Amino acid sequence: MNYASMDFLIVIPAFLAGILVLVTHVPLGAQVLKRGIVFIDLAIAQIAALGVIMAGLAGFEEGWAVQLAAGTAAILGALLLTLTEKRWPKVQEAQIGVVFVLAATGGLLLLANNPHGGEHLRDLLAGQILWVNFEQLLIPAVVTVLIIAAIHLLKGKLGQLGFYLLFAIAVTISVQLVGVYLVFASLIVPALGARNYQGIKRAVFAYLIGIAGYVAGLLLSMVYDLPSGALIVWCLSILAVFVYALGPSDIEEYQQAAQ
């Protein structure tokens, strides 16, 4: 096997991991912008990462135990944020920020005496997408299909709690594939870049930003030997700015929405 084919085999599962993340995060990102709770993704992702850390400290490094710990932590976080939104809706974004900071610093405290804590924390934040293998994609693929089915079948009927729970499940799966930073970027950046487009164009351009960003980031990381997750975040952002600049202006979007 030559070097080129080896790289190609590495990139295919990484790209598929990105597609799985985008499939759920593009529609969820549109809802997050609509609800005005932009940082919920960071908070839930950080809580899921805290669950992964706790599973590792308990002696579980991979498998169902880690998934269960991350999922349980994310769902508990979603239930907490549902409660805070009901009780104090006017300051929900601030409460989400506080939950994020608590989860992030909780992870730091738990890993403070771990000799590999810094490396483990970096992997959770920046991700290891380039080293994802096909076997790791099986469960996320099944869960992604179920989430998308629920989004479409229960459209308009999810309610506040249902949205938070679906969101928690989606983030639990994606944060272990691509890391906290890339999960947030996949959710928010394509949605921002396509936000002034109307109808089906909004979803199409959001997916195009996401797919092109992952392809460009992965290829550049191979060429220049730089962290894949960080490069993908930058590629997504640059493409989002480009797509937004070519689209309708904020005034045009407001006028179209008013008609």
Tokens 């909004």 label which residue?
Answer: 202
The confidence score (pLDDT) of residue 164 equals: 86
Task: Take residue 29 and report the two structure tokens written for it.
Answer: 């990102």
pLDDT for residue 63 is more than 80: no
* Burial of 149: CB neighbours in 10 Å, binned 0-12, 13-18, 19+: exposed
Tokens 């959710």 label which residue?
Answer: 187
Contacts of the segment 251-259: beta carbons below 8 A, 24+ positions apart: 252/196, 253/195, 253/196, 253/198, 256/198, 257/198
**pLDDT (average), residues 8-19:** 87
CA 148 to chain CA mean position, Å: 15
The whole-model pTM stands at 0.84
The confidence score (pLDDT) of residue 2 equals: 46
**pLDDT (average), residues 176-185:** 90
The confidence score (pLDDT) of residue 1 equals: 42
Q: What is residue 194's three-state secondary structure? A: coil
What share of the chain in percent tops pLDDT 70? 91
DSSP state of 249: -
pLDDT tens profile 112-142: 888 777 777 787 887 789 888 898 899 899 9
**pLDDT (average), residues 9-28:** 92
- Widest CA span in the chain: 60
Distance (Å, whole) CA 43 – CA 244? 26
Q: Which residues of 245-256 are buried (b: 16+ CB within 10 A; e: fewer)?
A: eebbeeeeeeee
Nearest of 218, 196, 182, 235 to residue 30 by alpha carbon:
196
C-alpha torsion sign, points 207, 32, 145, 149: negative
Nearest of 20, 11, 72 to residue 186 by alpha carbon:
20
